[in-house]
Amino acid sequence: MRKRTEPVALEHERCAAAGSSSSGSAAAALDADCRLKQNLPDAGMKRALGRRKGLWLRLRKILFCVLGLYIAIPFLIKLCPGIQAKLIFLNFVRVPYFIDLKKPQDQGLNHTCNYYLQPEEDVTIGVWHTVPAVWWKNAQGKDQMWYEDALASSHAIILYLHGNAGTRGGDHRVELYKVSAGGTHTCSLGWGDSVGTPSERGMTYDALHVFDWIKARSGDNPVYIWGHSLGTGVATNLVRRLCERETPPDALILESPFTNIREEAKSHPFSVIYRYFPGFDWFFLDPITSSGIKFANDENVKHISCPLLILHAEDDPVVPFQLGRKLYSIAAPARSFRDFKVQFVPFHSDLGYRHKYIYKSPELPRILR
């Protein structure tokens, strides 16, 4: 009996030892696993915090760069007033791109001829001459001489001075030529492919040269000056000079005009971010006038003696409607207009004509007549 019970006892002891050993290993493994699980959230949080910190540092760098650029731009413009002049004329923005201004037919103007006139040495200006629509068929394939001779017909002539940026081939300008060509010649003076550096004095001289060129060929036919946006500044400069030499045009039409370039620059949407910047006038407006750019429509209208028509849309985002209304209030009581009609035609904001779509108005031909 003892021989049989000893092995059994030993076997029980070994099993108990094995059991206690395995339970100890399992407990150790379980404890290690718990510690690992406790450490995992800590590591994840550290990585997330690290990413947030890196993102915040990058964001701070970007903010400091933007702030530095915002502060540097006024000083750059003040030190280099030529930059401001470039921004006024925007003659380097030649949209629409990839059109040949020598071929107005490509823009649907099959009764239009392209000219190049030279008011002075090293200066060349491009002009589109659109004849009245009734001559559309006769104009096909005709040369420049035919178009020049056509100016002597019994139709009135509009000398159109467009605004800054783009060319005389801009979409809204082409559409206006089509409207005005209902009963008149339209000569559009453009800067797109003209040669020379733009300036207020130079642009006024160029417009005067084209006016004289037209009058030399048109005889006693009526000639109207039409300016749009920045072109209104050139138009009033031109008409003032014509009135001073006693050769006024038959009428002046101002579309979306401003009072003077300083007020327009201050009201322009691009100036919003700097409008309340300390020293705004000194940084941004004084460089304009120091560059010889004034476009003082409010002063010019006091010296103009011919009929005046002002067209302005109430929802104009570029030249605020109140500037056009203010210009009218200055011109209407001026002594120079006492024998001439001064008319202001507003276009309601519901029409959506904004800065350059007044040509869409079905009333425009009637207004012009």
Which range of residues forms the domain containing residue 178?
89-368
* Pairing of β 112-120 and β 123-130: antiparallel
CB 238, CB 244: distance < 8 Å = no
User: What is the pLDDT at residue 4?
Assistant: 46
User: What is the pLDDT at residue 132?
Assistant: 95
Q: How far apart are CA 232 and CA 86, in angstroms?
A: 18
**Active-site residue, selected from the candidate residues 180, 298, 312, 316:** 316
Residue 60 located in a structural domain = no
Secondary element (H or E) of residue 252: strand 251-255
**Active-site residue, selected from the candidate residues 111, 268, 312, 355:** 355
Q: How far apart are CA 334 and CA 302, in angstroms?
A: 6
Count structural domains, the chain: 1
CB 321, CB 346: distance < 8 Å = yes
Number of Cβ atoms within 10 Å of the Cβ of 92: 8
* Pairing of β 123-130 and β 184-195: antiparallel
Token duo for residue 324? 């056009």
Q: Report the phi/psi class of residue 184: left, alpha or beta, with left for phi > 0 and alpha for psi in -120 to 50.
A: beta
Token duo for residue 133? 């629509």
Distances (CA, A) of 366 to 161, 182, 226, 238, 328: 21, 11, 16, 26, 21
Q: Where are the alpha helices (DSSP H) in 219-340?
A: 230-244, 261-267, 280, 286-290, 297-300, 321-331
Residue 264 located in a structural domain = yes
User: What is the pLDDT at residue 13?
Assistant: 52
Q: Which amino acid is at 99?
A: I
Please indicate whether residue 229 is annotated as part of the active site: yes
Considering only CA atoms, give the Rg of the chain: 37
Residue 22 located in a structural domain = no
Residue 17 located in a structural domain = no
Residue 75 located in a structural domain = no
Please indicate whether residue 22 is annotated as part of the active site: no
Please indicate whether residue 316 is annotated as part of the active site: yes
Residue 76 located in a structural domain = no
Number of Cβ atoms within 10 Å of the Cβ of 47: 10
Which residue, among 107, 88, 173, has the nearest Cα to 358 in the 3D structure? 173
Q: How far apart are CA 208 and CA 119, in angstroms?
A: 9
Residue 51 located in a structural domain = no
Which residue, among 5, 87, 30, has the nearest Cα to 285 in the 3D structure? 87
pLDDT in tens, the chain (369 residues): 444 445 544 454 554 454 444 555 555 554 555 554 555 556 667 677 777 777 888 898 999 999 999 999 999 989 988 888 888 998 888 777 888 999 999 999 999 999 999 988 888 999 999 999 999 999 999 999 999 999 999 999 999 999 998 899 999 999 999 998 888 999 998 777 787 788 999 999 999 999 999 999 999 999 999 999 999 999 999 999 999 999 999 999 999 999 999 999 999 988 889 988 899 999 999 999 888 999 999 999 999 999 999 999 999 999 999 999 999 999 999 999 999 999 999 999 999 999 999 999 999 988 887
CB 360, CB 353: distance < 8 Å = yes
List, as one string, the DSSP characters of 87-123.
HHH-TT--PSTT--TT-GGGGT-TTEEEEEEEEETTE
User: What is the pLDDT at residue 230?
Assistant: 96
Contact residues for 181 (Cβ-Cβ < 8 A; gap 6+): 111, 130, 131, 132, 133
E-strand stretches of 101-183: 112-120, 123-130, 156-161
Q: Give me the CATH number covering residue 359.
A: 3.40.50.1820
User: What is the pLDDT at residue 8?
Assistant: 45
pTM: 0.84
User: What is the pLDDT at residue 242?
Assistant: 98
Residue 72 located in a structural domain = no
Q: State how far Cα 357 lies from the chain centre.
A: 14
Contact residues for 169 (Cβ-Cβ < 8 A; gap 6+): 96, 99, 101, 104, 107, 128, 190, 192
**Active-site residue, selected from the candidate residues 188, 194, 229, 305:** 229
